[in-house]
Amino acid sequence: VQLQASGGGLVQAGGSLTLACAASGHTFNTLYMGWFRQAPGKEREFVATISASGGRMFVVDAGKGRFSISRDSAKNTVYLQMNNLKLEDTAVYYCAAARSTESGTFSRILRGYDYWGQGTQVTVSS
């Protein structure tokens, strides 16, 4: 599975960005997907996840009400819509994937994923 993340950039606080992650090399609708982020000097942390069918999703508390995750099986792409961005959202954002063995499965932990994209930088300025 190859994952290609895009959509990062520089945005002012309060602004919005949509990250995209295109998957190839495996049947997309058998993969659950996730987004993680890593700020300088910090560990990589969970942001959001979505099941293979798209029927279940979960967003970290810090992102609830601001972030949403979705997927488009026609484009083999998962998205992370981020609104009302804050300075503390500055990080490299990584998409990740894993094969779903049960309906509705997703994961909020790093070791729940087998495949990782290269990361895309999100910088929020004041």
Determine contact, residues 7/17, Cβ cutoff 8 Å.
yes
What pLDDT shows up at residue 103? 79
Coil/strand/helix, residue 89: helix
pLDDT, one tens digit per residue, over 12-33 is: 999 999 999 999 988 999 999 9
Determine contact, residues 2/10, Cβ cutoff 8 Å.
no
Nearest CA-CA partner of 35 in 52, 60, 61:
60
Tokens describing residue 60: 């970290």
pLDDT, one tens digit per residue, over 69-86 is: 999 999 999 999 999 999
Check pLDDT > 90 for residue 111.
yes
pLDDT tier at 119 (50, 70, 90 boundaries)? very high
What pLDDT shows up at residue 57? 96
pLDDT tier at 87 (50, 70, 90 boundaries)? very high
Q: What is the mean pLDDT of residues 86-98?
A: 98
Nearest CA-CA partner of 50 in 74, 9, 21:
21
Comparing 55 with 101, the larger pLDDT belongs to 55
Can you spell out the DSSP letters for 19-77? Answer: EEEEEESS-GGGEEEEEEEE-TTS--EEEEEE-TTSS-EEE-GGGTTTEEEEEETTTTE
